Structure 1
């Protein structure tokens, strides 16, 4: 299967939203219109750091997305890419759609001068981790912390 990947445009919301909902469902995060509309607004705002790309199958149907942003890397004195979110429709998994998204990320990193792209995933995301391991030497030795203020 051949895929095409590009940045989201105003007319893509109807196809992006079910994928975004699927991503939220996978992580057990309740989704509503307020949250989704906020994220969609960020993706369309050229002054916001978050950007989104969709990958489409040969029929033109959106089957996956990534949300990515520039992230300062102080020890390198540069910016790198940070992959916040990635999701591929379960029916398109294993078909090359995720590889198409990573190929687009590689092109983006090259165009932006990012020497690396980083991301995190849940430990239980076994299928995703197996895919990521094809592109990396496995998980990093960093431990992520999250401080939640109440």
Structure 2
């Protein structure tokens, strides 16, 4: 039986303009996992929005190990018809494959939880693919699986 790799010393921080290339490389890997490619213009627009101050836009946090971004999360706050408080949707979460299982995903989710608490949004939710077993092992430890099934316009 192999020993689990030790957790890393992870710093969580918002992106800076100088993070563009590393952020894009991480997000491109995330999208590739979900068999998705986007045109360069979407990367340009998304990164500009992440650095902007429009409250309708997504927020971003980067996980850094030894001064290098190795993970990211994108999340946003929105109103919910069933609640007075806003809710937080965690859309993207990614950790470099070679560092998975070492605390990066957990640190990013916990940072989103803290951001949601600071904004008065007690609910944080996210989606994942059924087959994403590695991520689901973490999600089962720090979240609650709901019975909802996602549909979208065809």
Question: For this pair of structures, how many residues does the alignment match?
Answer: 146
Moved over 4 A (4+): none
- Distance in 2 (alpha carbons) for counterparts of 1:64 and 1:81: 19
Q: Which residue number in structure 1 is paired with residue 60 of structure 2?
A: 52
- Distance in 1 (alpha carbons) for counterparts of 2:126 and 2:113: 14
Q: CA deviation at 1:10?
A: 1.2
Q: CA deviation at 1:108?
A: 0.5
Q: Which residue number in structure 1 is paired with residue 130 of structure 2?
A: 123
Q: Which residue number in structure 1 is paired with residue 27 of structure 2?
A: 20
RMSD value, Cα: 1.1
Q: Write the mapping of 1:1-150 to structure 2, written as runs, cut at 5 A.
A: 1-47=8-54, 48-57=56-65, 59-137=66-144, 139-148=145-154
Tell me the alpha carbon deviations over residues 81-134 of structure 1, each in whole angstroms, 9 at most, x when there is no partner. Answer: 100111111011011111111221121111111111011111111111111111
Q: CA deviation at 1:31?
A: 2.9
Structure 1's unaligned 5+ residue stretches are: none
- Distance in 1 (alpha carbons) for counterparts of 2:143 and 2:51: 30
Structure 2's unaligned 5+ residue stretches are: 1-7
SS at match of 1:12: helix
- Distance in 1 (alpha carbons) for counterparts of 2:100 and 2:107: 11
Q: CA deviation at 1:7?
A: 1.2
TM-score (norm 1): 0.92
